[in-house]
Amino acid sequence: MTSERKILWAPWRESYVVQYHSGECIFCKALNQDDATNHVVYRSRYSIALLNRYPYNNGHVMIAPTRHVPSFEMLSDDELLDLVKTVSIVLKALRNCYNPQGFNIGANIGKAAGAGIEGHLHIHVVPRWNGDTNFMPVIANAKVIPEDLNASWRKIRSCLEKASSE
């Protein structure tokens, strides 16, 4: 039995693909534009957190330093501490918003490691629930994300306002 990948028509991705191939960094772009357009959920002195436009799960957040660097060792101590504190604040907010049973947290550094945006270090925070890998990815080779990205943005921003003030 052979498994054949299905092709899903997704014209809304074109703007993302064009943007990615234009050489423009999505994190640097988000720093200089309004938060709603880029789904920025949090800003600190040295970091920015935004929703992944093509999330693995609801609440998939990417956290990046404001300075365009490809790896952790290039950050100052202040930038590094701020980045980790921002991850902590995002975790707290996601726990309050979504009540996940776990998280995947990680960074892909370099193309060989799977980095989609090599030049700008970023950390992925993905909420996980028992059983969140259901029959769709296994049988249909497709992932279903039930919550609209704009609804996620509003929800997480609200939770982050509470988490960062505590």
Please give the pLDDT value at position 91: 97
Q: pLDDT tens digits, residue range 36-51?
A: 999 999 999 999 999 9
Q: What gap in Å lies between CA 49 and CA 51, rounded to an integer?
A: 7
Which of 17-26, 38-47, 82-91, 156-165 has the lowest average pLDDT?
17-26
Mean pLDDT, range 20-24, rounded to an integer? 62
CATH level 3 topology of 38-165: HIT family, subunit A (3.30.428)
Mean pLDDT of the chain: 85
Please give the pLDDT value at position 165: 75
Which residue out of 21, 120, 122, 124 is catalytically annotated? Answer: 122
The domain spans of the chain are 38-165
Let me know if 122 is a catalytic residue: yes
Please give the pLDDT value at position 25: 93
Closest residue by Cα to residue 74 from 86, 82, 63, 65: 65
Adjacency order of strands within the sheet including 102-106: 40-43, 47-51, 61-65, 123-128, 102-106
- 70 has pLDDT over 70: yes
The alpha carbon of residue 38 and the mean position of all alpha carbons in its chain are separated, in whole angstroms, by 11
Please give the pLDDT value at position 141: 64
The burial of 85, by beta-carbon neighbours within 10 Å (0-12 exposed, 13-18 middle, 19 or more buried), is given as: middle
Is this structure's pTM higher than 0.95?
no
